[in-house]
């Protein structure tokens, strides 16, 4: 598995720290289980955090 972080809007930027990564991993694991492809999106945000297998088509 690998973790990915996307900003789903042109000309936008943001930041992600270890607390955010840990929170989103807990949320995706809680909903879908460990080692399952999934994503997490904050409310009213263009940021998407997810996890998937290497080579998967993500952030398109």
Task: Dig out the tokens for 41 from the structure.
Answer: 């999106």
pLDDT given for residue 19 in this prediction: 94
How many Cα atoms sit within 13 Å of 15 on the Cβ side? 3
The pTM of the whole model exceeds 0.85: no
pLDDT given for residue 22 in this prediction: 92
Residue 47 pairs with which residues in a beta bridge?
7
Q: How far apart are CA 36 and CA 17, in angstroms?
A: 22
Q: Which residues of the chain have pLDDT under 50?
A: 60
Q: Are 54 and 4 within 8 A, CB to CB? A: no
pLDDT given for residue 59 in this prediction: 57
Q: Could you read off the pLDDT of 32-43 as tens digits, one per residue?
A: 888 888 888 888
The structure tokens 């952030």 sit at: 59
pLDDT given for residue 60 in this prediction: 47
Q: What is the DSSP letter of 24?
A: H
Domain ranges of the chain: 2-52
pLDDT given for residue 1 in this prediction: 85
């Amino acid at each position: 598995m690998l973790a990915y972080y996307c900003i789903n809007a042109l000309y936008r930027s943001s930041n992600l720290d270890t607390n955010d990564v840990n929170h989103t991993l807990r949320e995706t694991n809680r909903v879908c289980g460990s080692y399952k492809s999934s994503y997490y999106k904050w409310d009213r945000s263009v940021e998407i955090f997810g996890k998937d297998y290497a080579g998967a088509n993500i952030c398109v």
